[in-house]
A and B are shown apart, each in its own frame.
Chain A
Amino acid sequence: MDALKGFRPYVTWANARGAWPEMIFSTRVRFARNLQGFNFPNRSEPRQLAEIRRLALAAARETGLFPRGHFIKVETLTALEKGFLVERHHVSHALAASVLPSGAAVSNDEDLSVMINEEDHLRLQCLNAGFAIEDAFRSALKLDLALGRELPFAYAGNFGFLTACPTNVGTGMRVSCLAHLPALSRLGSMPQVLENLSHLGVTARGIYGEGTYVLGDFYQISNATCLGRTEEEFCQNIDRVIRNLIRQEIAAREALLKGPARLKTEDAVYRALGLLRHARSLSYEEFMQNISLARMGAAMGWNMGLDFSTFNQTTLLMQPAHIQAAAGRVLTPPERDAFRAEYTRKKFA
């Protein structure tokens, strides 16, 4: 666990902040960038990947944006350490699975990070608490400009920033909000909502990004395309879509409190709270289902005993690798579930 020394259990980007903290967990803006003069990672030899990582980590240090930061050679980490970085959204599942030279630079308070040698040479991102598209965009752009002064990015006037996959070419930007939509989920409206989103140039993914399933009614909402409009226009589109989604979720929550539906909703929320308060073994999936309901209950004004920052931080800390990082050793799944139940019990007591 040596590589994780210096990572604090709590992160500022998981604090409740901004408008609708009960619905928008965090905002992320990432840029895909590649170095001119090198093949993309999928067509690079290990020695070239090592060279790219060396250059990228040195450039990240040079920017001055990573004081007391973490500079990591990902393939040298244990499975548990990689899992922790995946759960923190600094590294993707795909990068964690790779045995080739890859890396990550993470700022001390973990709002900025650079993932090295995933699909592209660099995936740089800013993670901010709550609904904060403008702030996250400004910070990510600052990092992008600083790195672009240290390294030659692959860029063409007609196509923009060049990426391994044409779905990312152009601005190379993806702006996403992690939205909690439990009422729309309970009403069974999500398939229709997702269908509508697809017509607005927007994609919804699971909590850990591409190809991951939905847990605890959390959806990562992001732009589906990134070419042909300016960065600001893509941000504005996501901003509009998120505000509209929030209105729909608010309407769904009101529907869940109307007439006979109210008793059913109240019963579901307090049963979930009972389970979180008393269970002796809690799988991650079960934890997420129930904390999602309790979180919705808190948003409806019922006393769940936790504020939204604690909801967020607890959600983060109860992930499988985080549990083991807290325990300081590898745990079997039954041990993890027992640890999770014990921690949750204390939090909700």
Chain B
Amino acid sequence: MLCEECRKANAAVFLKLAVNNKVTELHLCPACAAKKGMSLGLETGAFNISDIVGNMSGYFKDFLPAERKALRCGSCGLRYGEFKESGRLGCPECYAGFEPQLVQLLDRIHGASRHTGRTYAGGPAPKLSKGEAARRLAALRAELKVAVAREDFEGAARLRDAVKEMEGRHGRP
């Protein structure tokens, strides 16, 4: 199936949204999806539908049935459903990705959802091994490429800084 936007590339992104009891379907190619400002993160397998819906409009979001939200962590790609099965989150970013759900859960577990204990100002960046630094640098460069293709200049600038910082700390491979 061709992309409904450009009618050139094959559609790879399929969105099915229920609005006012009417189902709206959208078939897009990754480039058009990206142009629409949808941060799909397909390269890493991360797909955060709440981001997409958030970017489209608050109106859509309100009518999206809860069970249709294939909620995923934008960083590690863990699906909320997987977390519900295993009880284990995938990475520290999951807490931001699943914040509303976790607040409810934490209230049930701990009788509270806000930390009131010791605070932490942060620690130094870890001294990564050459291999790990090179892998991370390659991943950052790949993300940068996608951001540029997507004309997401703000994101690209941030990633360029991150690449420079990594190169500065660990050297250009």
Report B-chain residues with C-beta under 8 Å of the C-beta of A158: 113-115
Q: Which of B102, B111, B113, B129 is close to A54, meaning CB atoms less than 8 Å apart?
A: B129
B117 CB to closest chain A CB (Å) equals 4
Task: Name the interface residues of B59-90: CB closer than 8 Å to any CB of A.
Answer: 76, 78, 86-90
Nearest residue (CB) in B for A155 is B120
Given A38-B91, A159-B95: A229 and B116 interface contact (C-beta under 8 Å): yes
Task: Name the interface residues of A142-189: CB closer than 8 Å to any CB of B.
Answer: 148-162, 164-167, 169-171, 173
Given A51-B129, A149-B123: A227 and B115 interface contact (C-beta under 8 Å): yes
Q: How far is the CA of A165 from the CA of B83 in the complex (A)?
A: 9
Cβ B88 vs Cβ A151 within 8 A: no
Q: Which of A43, A58, A165, A171 is close to B117, meaning CB atoms less than 8 Å apart?
A: A171
Q: Confirm or deny: A230 has a beta carbon within 8 angstroms of a beta carbon on chain B.
A: yes
Report A-chain residues with C-beta under 8 Å of the C-beta of B23: none
A41 CB to closest chain B CB (Å) equals 9
A15 CB to closest chain B CB (Å) equals 30
Cβ B117 vs Cβ A152 within 8 A: no
Q: Which of B76, B123, B127, B128 is close to A43, meaning CB atoms less than 8 Å apart?
A: B76
B169 CB to closest chain A CB (Å) equals 13
Report A-chain residues with C-beta under 8 Å of the C-beta of B110: 167, 170, 225-228
Nearest residue (CB) in A for B125 is A152
Report B-chain residues with C-beta under 8 Å of the C-beta of A226: 110
Q: Confirm or deny: B1 has a beta carbon within 8 angstroms of a beta carbon on chain A.
A: no
B123 CB to closest chain A CB (Å) equals 4
A100 CB to closest chain B CB (Å) equals 15
Report B-chain residues with C-beta under 8 Å of the C-beta of A162: 92, 95
Q: How far is the CA of A34 from the CA of B128 in the complex (A)?
A: 16
Q: How far is the CA of A170 from the CA of B87 in the complex (A)?
A: 16
Q: How far is the CA of A202 from the CA of B120 in the complex (A)?
A: 26
Cβ B128 vs Cβ A51 within 8 A: yes
Nearest residue (CB) in B for A52 is B126
B126 CB to closest chain A CB (Å) equals 5
B59 CB to closest chain A CB (Å) equals 28
Report A-chain residues with C-beta under 8 Å of the C-beta of B105: 166
Report A-chain residues with C-beta under 8 Å of the C-beta of B112: 170, 225, 227-229
Q: How far is the CA of A182 from the CA of B132 in the complex (A)?
A: 53
Q: How far is the CA of A55 from the CA of B92 in the complex (A)?
A: 18
Task: Name the interface residues of B121-163: CB closer than 8 Å to any CB of A.
Answer: 122-129, 131-132
Cβ A150 vs Cβ B124 within 8 A: yes
Other than the given A39-B76, A166-B102, 13 more pairs (CB < 8 A) read A38-B91, A47-B131, A51-B129, A148-B123, A152-B126, A158-B115, A162-B95, A164-B88, A166-B106, A167-B109, A227-B114, A230-B117, A231-B118
A residues adjacent to B (C-beta < 8 A): 34-40, 42-43, 47-48, 51, 54-55, 58, 119, 148-162, 164-167, 169-171, 173, 201, 225-231
The contact sample of 20 A-B pairs, CB cut-off 8 A, is A40-B90, A43-B76, A47-B131, A51-B128, A51-B132, A150-B123, A152-B122, A159-B106, A160-B117, A161-B115, A161-B120, A166-B109, A167-B109, A169-B95, A171-B117, A171-B118, A173-B117, A225-B110, A228-B113, A229-B117
